[in-house]
Chains A and B, each alone.
Chain A
Amino acid sequence: MLLREVEYARPASVEEAVRLLSEHEGARALAGGQTLINVMKARAASPDVLIDLNKLADLKGIDLASDGTVSIGAMVTYTELMESAEARARPILGEVCAQIADVQVRNRGTIGGNVCSNDPTNHLPPLMVALGATMHILGGDGERTVPAEEFFLGVYMTAAGPGELLTKISVPPGKSDGFASVPIGRDGTCIVNAAASVNGGVRLALGCVDAVPVLLKTSSADADAVRSAVRDANLDPPADVHASADYRRHLAEVVAVRAAAEAHGKR
Chain B
Amino acid sequence: MDVKVTVNGETYERDVEARKLLIHFLRDDLNLTGSHIGCDTGNCGACSVIVDGVLVKSCMMLAVQADGATIETVEGLAKDGELNALQQSFSDHHALQCGYCTPGMLMSATALLRGNAHPSEDEIRKGIQGNLCRCTGYVNIVSAIKAAAE
- Please give the residue numbers on chain A whose beta carbons come within 8 Å of chain B beta carbons, in ascending order: 1-8, 10, 30, 33-34, 37-38, 41, 50, 52, 54, 101-105, 107-108, 186-187
Apart from A52-B65, A103-B130, A104-B60, what are 14 other A-B pairs with CB-CB below 8 Å? A1-B21, A3-B19, A8-B64, A34-B60, A37-B21, A41-B40, A50-B62, A54-B65, A102-B45, A103-B108, A103-B111, A103-B126, A104-B48, A105-B60
Complexed CA–CA distance, A104 and B17 (Å):
24
- Is B38 engaged at the interface, CB distance under 8 Å to the other chain? no
| Beta-carbon contact of B42 and A105 below 8 Å | yes
Interface flags for B114-138 (1: CB within 8 Å of A; 0: not) read: 0000000000001101110000000
Can you spell out 24 A-B residue pairs with CB atoms less than 8 angstroms apart? Answer: A1-B40, A1-B59, A2-B20, A3-B21, A6-B18, A8-B18, A33-B62, A33-B65, A34-B60, A37-B61, A38-B41, A38-B60, A103-B55, A103-B112, A104-B45, A104-B48, A104-B56, A105-B42, A105-B57, A105-B130, A107-B54, A108-B54, A108-B56, A108-B61
Q: Tell me the nearest residue of chain A to B107, going by C-beta.
A: A104
Residues of chain B with a CB closer than 8 A to A8's CB: 1, 18, 62, 64
* Contact for A103 among B1, B17, B21, B127, CB less than 8 A: B127
Residues of chain B with a CB closer than 8 A to A187's CB: 129
Residues of chain B with a CB closer than 8 A to A33's CB: 60-62, 65
B106 to chain A, nearest CB (A): 14
Interface flags for B44-72 (1: CB within 8 Å of A; 0: not) read: 01001000001111011110110000000
B3 to chain A, nearest CB (A): 11
Q: Tell me the nearest residue of chain B to A83, going by C-beta.
A: B115
* Contact for B42 among A10, A38, A186, CB less than 8 A: A38
Complexed CA–CA distance, A104 and B57 (Å):
6
| Beta-carbon contact of B61 and A50 below 8 Å | no
| Most central of A8, A30, A52 by chain B CB within 10 Å | A8
A208 to chain B, nearest CB (A): 19
Complexed CA–CA distance, A38 and B62 (Å):
11
- Please give the residue numbers on chain B whose beta carbons come within 8 Å of chain A beta carbons, in ascending order: 1, 17-21, 24, 40-42, 45, 48, 54-57, 59-62, 64-65, 108, 111-112, 126-127, 129-131
Complexed CA–CA distance, A33 and B22 (Å):
12
A53 to chain B, nearest CB (A): 11
B117 to chain A, nearest CB (A): 17
Residues of chain A with a CB closer than 8 A to B42's CB: 34, 37-38, 105
Residues of chain A with a CB closer than 8 A to B45's CB: 102, 104
Complexed CA–CA distance, A3 and B18 (Å):
9
Across the A-B interface, the 3 shortest Cβ-Cβ residue pairs: A102-B130, A8-B18, A3-B19
Residues of chain B with a CB closer than 8 A to A7's CB: 18
Residues of chain B with a CB closer than 8 A to A2's CB: 19-20, 24
Residues of chain B with a CB closer than 8 A to A101's CB: 130
Residues of chain B with a CB closer than 8 A to A52's CB: 64-65
Q: Tell me the nearest residue of chain B to A107, going by C-beta.
A: B54
Complexed CA–CA distance, A41 and B41 (Å):
8
* Contact for B62 among A34, A37, A104, A186, CB less than 8 A: A37
A203 to chain B, nearest CB (A): 30
Residues of chain B with a CB closer than 8 A to A1's CB: 21, 40, 59
